[in-house]
A = this chain, B = another copy of it.
Amino acid sequence: MKVNGEHKRTIWVEPDGWAVGVIDQTLLPHRYALARWETVEDAVRGIATMQVRGAPLIGASAAYGMCLALRADPSDENLEAAYAKLSATRPTAINLKWALDEIVAAVRNRPRDERVVAAYRRAAEICDEDVAINQAIGRHGGDLIAAAAGRKRPGEPVNVLTHCNAGWLATVDWGTALAPIYLAHDGGIRLHVWADETRPRNQGASLTAWELGQHGVPHTVIPDSAGGHLMQHGMVDLAIVGTDRVTADGDVCNKIGTYLKALAARDNGVPFYVALPSPTIDFSVRDGLSEVPIEQRAAEEVATMTGRTADGRIETVTIVPEGSAVANYGFDVTPARLVTGLITERGMIAAGREALARAFPERAGAAR
């Protein structure tokens, strides 16, 4: 997507052909800066400190981290050491382990002098595959936006509500929930995005608003509490969110607060869609509420807020009284009954066991 008018991915190989470039997302939206990784340690630090975040981008970053490690030393010992270091950065990220395994598979049975080239080739493929999946999601979801546009009066934009950041910054390009928005926008459909602020880490107010703004998509940041009111007053045509995990029965685990928006959508007849690449479906789990553990994150994320001061410094302030307890549940589960449809690279699929198994028979069968 665009930054300062130029097309950019979130991760790339530098012109020298080996160093890895990324957008340093820790400084957004207040500063746009790039980082250059030259060693596996750079990649480990970048993933651990959230210079890069979002499951697909973490996977791509880990793959390139392996490339950097092999460039320094293509031995089996170093391959194993890099695998261990990189997989420890974000232990719960499924894509990370998958990407590391992909690189290992690509180089294991090769002579040492061919390993670096093979690793870079597979890392580039991982990135291109992510882009292709997201474009497919974008096309299928874009059709829904186009259909909504057909029901609007001339000149009125389609209003789409989203939660958190499932945009291109979380992937290599296009994003998942935002891919349909970018494709529809680029295709000339008038639309406007309500971006939930998404406390406590504010990924909506910072990342989603920033990337929509850079790409020129009209949008408005709202507190997480506002979506229900907007839906009650006909100001939301459809909602599209991303997800961290979808169960075999279609329950959706996503950023805390997604469930409340889905309830409001149901109460007001607003379609509620979840966009996802199919690897996000976990066919080994059925009931999201009882089977998906919800991560509790650091209290400081709720107790503090980071932003820029009037004189341009980045400052963190505490907003709760000393001595007050704070709870920070990272995710919630939206039951399948509240989900209008799952937008995947294979099209729109009903959020239910049979439809998911029919759409992905090779994966549903393997999990039985």
Q: Mark A188-209, 1 if CB is under 8 A from B, else 0.
A: 0000001101111010011001
CA distance A321 to B333 in the complex (A): 29
| The one of B28, B229, B259 that contacts A229, using a Cβ cutoff of 8 Å | B259
Closest to A227 in B: B260
- What does the 1/0 interface line of A223-234 toward B look like (CB < 8 Å)? 111111110110
A219 to B210, CA, bound (A): 35
Q: How far is the CB of A149 from chain B (nearest CB, A)?
A: 20
Cβ of A310: which chain B residues have Cβ within 8 Å of it?
A: 316
A106 interfacial by beta-carbon distance below 8 Å: no
Report A305-358 residues with CB < 8 Å from chain B CB: 305-310, 315-321, 323-329, 331-333
Asked if B199 and A224 make an inter-chain contact with CB atoms under 8 angstroms apart, the answer reads yes
On chain B, the residues within 8 Å of A260 by CB distance are 225, 227-228, 260-261, 263-264
Let me know if B317 and A307 touch, CB within 8 A: yes
Contact of A308 among B199, B218, B256, B318 (CB under 8 A): B318
Residues of B within 8 A of A329 (CB): 222, 226, 229-230
A310 to B304, CA, bound (A): 10
| Closest chain B CB from A308 CB (angstroms) | 5
A317 & B326 in contact (Cβ 8 Å cutoff): no
Task: Please state the number of chain copies in the assembly.
Answer: 2
Give how many A residues have a beta carbon under 8 Å from the other chain's beta carbons. 68
- Alpha-carbon distance A306/B226, docked complex (angstroms): 20
Task: Please determine whether B317 and A306 come into contact, CB atoms closer than 8 angstroms.
Answer: yes
CA of A121 to CA of B57, assembled, Å: 68
User: Is A267 interfacial (CB-CB < 8 Å)?
Assistant: yes
Question: A224 to chain B: which residues have CB within 8 Å?
Answer: 199, 223-225, 257
Chain B min CB distance to A207 (Å): 9
Decide if A294 is an interface residue (CB 8 Å cutoff).
yes
Residues 214-247 of chain A, each 1 if its beta carbon lies under 8 Å from chain B, else 0: 0000111111111111101100000000000000
Contact sample, A vs B, 9 pairs, CB 8 Å cutoff: A213-B321, A220-B324, A221-B324, A222-B326, A225-B260, A226-B332, A304-B307, A307-B317, A309-B316
